[in-house]
Chain A
Amino acid sequence: MLHEPSARSSSDPAAGYKMRLGVWMFIPYAVVYAGFVLINLVKPVVMETTVIFGLNLAVAYGFGLIILALVMALIYNQFCVWKEHAVYRSRPSKEKE
Chain B
Amino acid sequence: MEPLAVVTFIVFVALVLGLSFYFARRARSSAGYYAAGGRIHWSVNGVAFAGDYLSAASFLGICGMIATAGYDGFLYSIGYLAGWVVALFVVAEPMKRLGKYTFTDALDARFNSRGIQLAAAISTLVVSIFYLIPQMVGAGVLVTPLLGLPHHVGVILVGAIVITIVATAGMTSTTYVQFIKGGMLIVFSVILVIAVLTRGLSTNPDPGEGVPFRAPAVLSMSEEPGGAVLSDSAYAFAGRAESHGNTFVKLTRDGTVSWWFQRTAGADQAELVEAQYTAVTAGGERIVNGAPASSENTLRPVGNIQSLQGRQDSEVRTGPVGPFSFLSRIGDPQTRINLWKKEKFEDGRDQVTVFYPIPVEGNRVLRPGLKFKVDGSTTEKINFASLMLALFLGTASLPHILIRYYTVPSPEAARKSTIVAIAAIGFFYILTLYMGLGAMTGGVVNLLDDNMSAPLLARSFGTLLFAVISAIAFATVLGTVSGLIVAASGAVAHDFLDRFLGRGYTDHQKVAAGRIAAFSVGLVAIVLGILFKGMNVSFLVGWAFSVAASANLPAVVMLLFWKKTTSQGIVASIAMGTISALLIILLSPDMYERYGLDKASAPIPFGNPAIISVPISFLTLVLVSLLTRNQGNRNRPA
| A and B part of one assembly | yes
**Total residues of chain B contacting the partner, CB 8 A:** 65
**Bound Cα distance A72, B89 (Å):** 10
Tell me, in angstroms, the Cα distance from A44 to B367 when the chains sit together: 8
Contact A62–B78 (Cβ < 8 Å): yes
The reply to whether B78 and A36 form a contact with Cβ atoms under 8 Å apart is yes
Residue from B86, B101, B105, B375 in contact with A44 in the complex, judged by beta carbons closer than 8 Å: B375
CB-CB under 8 A for A29 and B85, given A7-B109, A73-B422: yes
State whether A5 touches B419 (Cβ < 8 A): no
Stretch in contact with the other chain, from B55-63, B298-306, B381-389:
B381-389
Q: Using Cβ atoms and an 8 Å threshold, which residues of chain A touch B423?
A: 70, 73
Query: Which stretch, B122-130, B205-213, B426-434, B546-554, touches the partner chain A?
Result: B426-434
Contact A56 B366 (CB under 8 A): yes
Cβ of B84 to closest chain A Cβ, rounded Å: 6
Tell me the smallest distance from the CB of B436 to a CB of chain A, in Å.
12
Q: Contact string, B99-127, partner A, CB cutoff 8 A, digits 1/0?
A: 11100011001001000000000000000
Contact A66 B81 (CB under 8 A): yes
Out of A4, A22, A55, A84, name the residue touching B89 (CB < 8 Å): A22
Known: A19-B560, A66-B430, A69-B422. A53 touches B328 (CB 8 A): yes
Contact status A40-B331, CB under 8 Å: no
Instruction: Check B100–A6 contact: CB distance below 8 A.
Output: yes
A86 beta carbon closer than 8 Å to chain B: no
Contact A47 B430 (CB under 8 A): no
Known: A9-B410, A12-B97, A70-B423. A40 touches B86 (CB 8 A): no
Tell me how far the C-beta of A23 lies from the nearest C-beta in chain B, rounded to whole angstroms: 7
Let me know if B109 and A63 touch, CB within 8 A: no
Q: Decide if A5 touches B412 in the complex (CB within 8 Å).
A: no
Whether the pair B384, A40 counts as a contact (CB closer than 8 A) is yes
Q: Are A55 and B331 in contact (CB under 8 A)?
A: yes
Contact of A69 among B75, B325, B426 (CB under 8 A): B426
- Cβ of A70: which chain B residues have Cβ within 8 Å of it? 419, 422-423, 426
Contact with B along A33-65 (1 / 0, CB 8 A): 100110011001001101001111111001101
Are B94 and A19 neighbours in the complex by a CB distance under 8 Å?
yes
B88 touches A22 (CB 8 A): yes
Question: Is the CB of A10 closer than 8 A to any CB of chain B?
Answer: yes
Within 8 A of A (CB), among B306-350: 324-325, 327-328, 331, 333
B49 within 8 A of partner (CB): no
What chain A residues lie within 8 Å of B94 (beta carbons)? 15, 19
C-alpha spacing A76/B100, complex, angstroms: 25
Give the contacting residue for B368; candidates A29, A50, A53, A58; CB below 8 A. A58
Residues in chain A within 8 A of chain B (CB atoms) = 2-7, 9-10, 12, 15, 18-19, 22-23, 25-26, 29-30, 33, 36-37, 40-41, 44, 47-48, 50, 53-59, 62-63, 65-67, 69-70, 72-74, 76-77, 80, 84, 97
15 contacts between A and B (CB under 8 A): A5-B109, A7-B97, A10-B97, A23-B90, A26-B86, A29-B85, A33-B392, A37-B384, A50-B328, A54-B324, A55-B328, A65-B81, A65-B82, A66-B77, A70-B419
Those 5 A-B pairs whose CB atoms lie nearest each other, nearest first: A54-B328, A22-B89, A47-B367, A5-B109, A26-B89
- 20 extra interface residue pairs, beta carbon distance < 8 Å, beyond A22-B93, A66-B429, A80-B412: A6-B101, A15-B94, A15-B638, A19-B93, A23-B90, A29-B85, A33-B82, A44-B369, A48-B331, A48-B367, A54-B325, A55-B324, A59-B327, A59-B433, A62-B77, A65-B81, A69-B82, A69-B426, A73-B422, A80-B415
